[in-house]
Structure 1
Amino acid sequence: MKLKRWVLGFLAVVLVALPVFAGGEGEEQAVAEKKYVYAVISKGFMHEFWLTVKKGCDTAAKELGVFATFEGPATEAEVAAQIAMVENAITRRVDGILLAALDKKALVPVMEKAKAAGIPIVMFDSGADAEYLTLVATDNRAAAARAADYLAELIGGEGKVGVIVHDATSQTGIDRRDGFLDRIKEKYPKIQVVNVVYGGGDHAKSQDLIMDMVRSNPDLKGIFAANEGSAVGAALALEALGAAGRIKLVGYDTSEKELEFLKKGVIQGMMAQNPFNMGYLGLKILHEYVISGKKPESTFIDTGATLITAENLETPEVQRLLYPFKE
């Protein structure tokens, strides 16, 4: 039986309420048992995406017989908190770090500190301008370009569109924004991008930004939203303005709220990543390097992206992607 997605939402609330620094008795016991200990540091617990990554890490840790902590800031805007988590992992002298960088530049000094301490790093979801073994992630430029193609198809290849992104500092934010904009520029001369705004992945802030965008551009025909928070906020704005369906919305990620909006016709499509594989493959690659010294063959491992629409939502392939949790 598949685990109900509402349980994941409940777990997200619980995890946010817990202390953000990992370690504790479980890690002490693992050290005493001479197990390998890894620190997995995500961007936060705001969205179901990170819980799915955790499930992948937990599955890999069990298979490998290792211990992996999982932590992240309370919100995806807390770069300093994430840096402190990496510092804490270095102090604990973990065997390796699996990291999704909130800011590709701000994380560089602490990543260099980890390297100096002999602690290897594998990145997932979002890389950084520092040395690491490999990045296990979605090819976000390619996925955003696919989203641009689909939105262009929905609006007949012409008209005004807007873009809302979670941030302009993480590699995911930059790649999704630029992947979309570059494809529009290359292939669709009759489509005008009226604005690119940044909502921090916050539902309420994203809703306000999109409401302002629509009011300023009453002839807007489409919106690309680059993550879960952006997509849900945009959908809420379109519903509030009575523009759902008239203004086409293509999003990113696959939360329960996004799926509800897809079924209602507020969202027309979503680029679905594979966060389970990010956690699962990331931890396995990191452990393989620690025990053998063998570096991954590539510095980037693409975990894939799938365009989900109302038409393919119930197919077995999409259902397996959406519900990787089984009892």
Structure 2
Amino acid sequence: MNKKIINAMLVLGMTAGLAAGTCTSAFAEEAETEEARGYRFTWVNPIVGLEYWSIAEEGMAAADAKYGTDTQTVGPTEINVDEMVKQIDAAVAAQVDGIITMALDPTALGPAIQRAVDAGIPVVCIDTDAPDSARSYYAGTSNYDAGFQAGQTMAEMTDGKAKVGILMGGINASNMVSRVEGFKAALEEYQDMEIIVTEDTNADLLIGTQKAQAMMQTYPEMTAIFGTSSTDAQAAGKVAEEMGITDQYCIIGFDDMEDTLNYIREGVVDATTVQKPYEMGYLGVELLVQTIEGNGPEEQVIDTGVTMVTADNVDSYKE
């Protein structure tokens, strides 16, 4: 089936903005509960406790408040696809009304999603899609396009000349792979942009810090770092700052964690590719409600978009 990529804000007819801890978008303005539906949803989180996903859960809570639903969070505290599969199966066994998940590994999660749908339980993916699965909808970033935009930004900031190291938050995670593919595609237009090393951080700040330090020490010719997960730019920035060599690197990351934004303000990190996890979480619940009630949008893929945040807009992009 052909799937159209559309802008979520056009689908919903609203303008969205993201803020950690609060949301200034039209999502947050819908204060009144339509009715107490009583649907029970399970959110299978890939990394429980990660700040990025906590923001998504704030969006889910706002949608629960509007629709009278109840979304419970389950999942591992570090990347573990097998545990995600077990949690999906547990939700099926508990006969919940719907499941939200992130397709960290579409091949591994596809059969579990199929089992849920076979049991009459709709599934919505957020952040990372499983396009060949039986899921009803995907709401989130086009990871390839986001990576491409990050690559273009790095090329512009380095005048098209850099030796690049990549900190990859999950070497086999489909969203990270797509971001790197998009990033590499953008760099193909510049003959003096070269990727010299890629390291797996498993989206862990401590591991990322260790890998960033090793890269900086092993590759003195490296002049730029691209981080694909929310902790990677923080890790690179922390090491560069501690070593007193922040002026040697162009660092571009993903997501607007507070430490990343502060590093941008301080000139340690140059840019970050900001997604919209609050909106993804909100849409996850909303799309499940619409699927159950038979009034969901025709398009199965809803692109929530990204914003490149630099020193020029770090204090205004949320507006």
Alignment TM-score > 0.5, same fold: yes
Q: In 1, distance between residues paired with 2:104 and 2:142?
A: 17
Counterpart among 187, 191, 194 of residue 192 in structure 1: 194
CA contact (8 A) 1:134 1:296 kept: no
> Which stretch shows the higher mean deviation, 101-110 or 118-127?
101-110
Query: In 2 relative to 1, CA 160–61 (structure 1 residues): closer, same or farther, beyond 3 Å?
Result: same
TM normalised by structure 1 equals 0.83
Partner residue, 1:165: 168
Q: In 1, distance between residues paired with 2:169 and 2:95?
A: 32
Partner residue, 1:30: none
Q: Secondary structure at the match of 1:163?
A: strand
Q: Is residue 148 of structure 1 aligned with residue 140 of structure 2?
A: no
CA contact (8 A) 1:42 1:101 kept: no
**Amino acid of the structure 2 residue aligned with 1:44:** I
**Amino acid of the structure 2 residue aligned with 1:219:** E
Q: In 2, distance between residues paired with 1:262 and 1:136?
A: 28
Partner residue, 2:69: 66
Cα offset, 1:34, TM superposition: 7.0
Q: In 1, distance between residues paired with 2:46 and 2:162?
A: 35
Counterpart among 236, 241, 245 of residue 234 in structure 1: 236
Q: Which runs of 5+ in 1 are unaligned?
A: 9-32, 321-327
CA contact (8 A) 1:163 1:225 kept: yes
Partner residue, 1:319: 318
Q: Residues 20-53 of structure 1, C-alpha deviation per residue, up to 9 Å, x if partnerless? A: xxxxxxxxxxxxx972111112212342211111
Query: In 2 relative to 1, CA 64–157 (structure 1 residues): closer, same or farther, beyond 3 Å?
Result: same
CA contact (8 A) 1:206 1:230 kept: yes
Q: Secondary structure at the match of 2:167?
A: strand
Q: Secondary structure at the match of 1:62?
A: helix
Cα offset, 1:248, TM superposition: 0.8
Partner residue, 1:11: none
Q: Name the structure with the higher helix share.
A: 1
Q: Is residue 120 of structure 1 aligned with residue 122 of structure 2?
A: yes
RMSD: 1.9
Q: Which runs of 5+ in 2 are unaligned?
A: 1-18, 23-35
Partner residue, 1:307: 308
Runs of 4+ in 1 over 4 A off after TM superposition: none
CA contact (8 A) 1:201 1:229 kept: yes
Q: In 2, distance between residues paired with 1:218 and 1:241?
A: 13
Counterpart among 101, 115, 128 of residue 103 in structure 2: 101
Q: In 2, distance between residues paired with 1:47 and 1:40?
A: 14
Partner residue, 1:27: none
Q: In 2, distance between residues paired with 1:150 and 1:235?
A: 18
Q: In 2, distance between residues paired with 1:71 and 1:231?
A: 27
Partner residue, 2:298: 297
Counterpart among 258, 262, 267 of residue 265 in structure 1: 267
Q: In 2, distance between residues paired with 1:183 and 1:255?
A: 25
Q: In 2, distance between residues paired with 1:105 and 1:189?
A: 35
CA contact (8 A) 1:124 1:135 kept: yes
Q: In 2, distance between residues paired with 1:144 and 1:95?
A: 34
Q: In 1, distance between residues paired with 2:101 and 2:279?
A: 14
Q: Residues 118-142 of structure 1, C-alpha deviation per residue, up to 9 Å, x if partnerless? A: 1111100112242211210111111
> What percentage of aligned pairs have identical amino acids?
26
Q: In 1, distance between residues paired with 2:176 and 2:49?
A: 16
TM normalised by structure 2 equals 0.85
CA contact (8 A) 2:104 2:175 kept: no
Q: In 2, distance between residues paired with 1:50 and 1:307?
A: 20
Cα offset, 1:265, TM superposition: 1.1
**1:6-155 aligned within 5 A:** 35-75=38-78, 77-128=79-130, 129-155=132-158
CA contact (8 A) 2:37 2:69 kept: no
Cα offset, 1:100, TM superposition: 0.9
**Amino acid of the structure 2 residue aligned with 1:136:** A
**Amino acid of the structure 2 residue aligned with 1:300:** V
Q: Secondary structure at the match of 1:213?
A: helix
Q: Secondary structure at the match of 1:258?
A: helix
Q: Secondary structure at the match of 1:110?
A: helix
Q: In 1, distance between residues paired with 2:318 and 2:259?
A: 16
Instruction: Give the paired residue count.
Output: 287
Q: Secondary structure at the match of 1:218?
A: coil
